[in-house]
């Protein structure tokens, strides 16, 4: 239940999947989703850590900040050690780097779709997104012509 005066926040977990894994699991999103949830629940299990490191490509906040800044130079980006805080048109979004993936927090789905997802779509990586508040998941986009001829946006589920 939302309390008066308190904004509900949306959180997305974003993973950069290594190319060879993305190609193999592109149509097996349920398996990838269950694996990422298992890692979240049992991060200290050695075999899961090894698999996670094999599947996930590390993300760099400097690269993410550059992708965002290229999308719209009017944005104000406050970069700290483990997070970015982005300000535009009276809105705020926070992007945390957390163990080889990103956690994005914003006040609406439209905010993340307005510029953050389009900025990521311009990068050469394969991004798998999990909406923590809506329990949806899927590929953000595929920009790599080695796999498909056209960019594609999946619904999360």
Q: What is the CA radius of gyration of the chain?
A: 16
Counting the structural domains of the chain, the total is: 1
Question: 88-111 as b/e, with b when 16 or more CB fall inside 10 Å?
Answer: beeeebbbbbeeebbbbbbeeeeb
Percent of the chain with pLDDT over 90: 44
Rounded to whole angstroms, the Cα distance separating 1 from 114 reads: 26
Residue 61 maps to a domain: yes
Rounded to whole angstroms, the Cα distance separating 127 from 130 reads: 10
Per-residue pLDDT reduced to its tens digit, 100-141: 899 999 988 888 888 788 888 888 889 999 998 777 899 986
- Residues near 118 by beta carbon (within 8 Å), at least 6 away in sequence: 71
Residue 151 maps to a domain: no
Residue 5 maps to a domain: no
Residue 104 maps to a domain: yes
Containing structural domain, residue 101: 10-141
pLDDT grade for 147, boundaries at 50, 70 and 90: low
Residue 51 maps to a domain: yes
Q: Which two tokens stand for residue 13?
A: 């977990």
At 67 the pLDDT is: 83
Mean pLDDT of the chain: 83
pLDDT grade for 157, boundaries at 50, 70 and 90: very low
Residue 3 maps to a domain: no
Residue 152 maps to a domain: no
Closest CA relative to residue 106, chosen from 74, 137, 84? 84
Specify whether the CB–CB gap between 100 and 52 falls below 8 A: yes
CATH of the domain at 116: 3.30.310.250
Specify whether the CB–CB gap between 67 and 79 falls below 8 A: no
- Residues near 46 by beta carbon (within 8 Å), at least 6 away in sequence: none
pLDDT grade for 86, boundaries at 50, 70 and 90: very high
Residue 150 maps to a domain: no
């Amino acid at each position: 239940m939302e309390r008066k005066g308190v904004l509900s926040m949306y959180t997305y977990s974003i993973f950069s999947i290594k190319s060879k894994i993305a190609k193999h699991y592109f149509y097996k999103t349920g398996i990838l989703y269950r694996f990422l949830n298992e890692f979240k629940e049992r991060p200290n299990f050695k075999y899961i850590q090894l698999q996670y490191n094999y599947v996930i490509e590390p993300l760099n906040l400097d690269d993410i900040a550059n992708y965002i800044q290229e999308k719209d130079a009017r944005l104000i980006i406050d970069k700290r050690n483990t997070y970015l805080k982005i300000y535009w048109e009276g809105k705020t979004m926070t992007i945390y780097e957390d163990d080889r993936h990103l956690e994005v927090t914003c006040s609406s789905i439209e905010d993340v779709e307005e510029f953050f997802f389009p900025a990521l779509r311009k990068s050469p990586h394969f991004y798998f997104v999990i909406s923590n508040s809506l329990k949806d998941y899927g590929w953000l986009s595929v920009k790599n012509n080695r796999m498909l001829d056209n960019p594609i946006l999946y619904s999360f589920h």
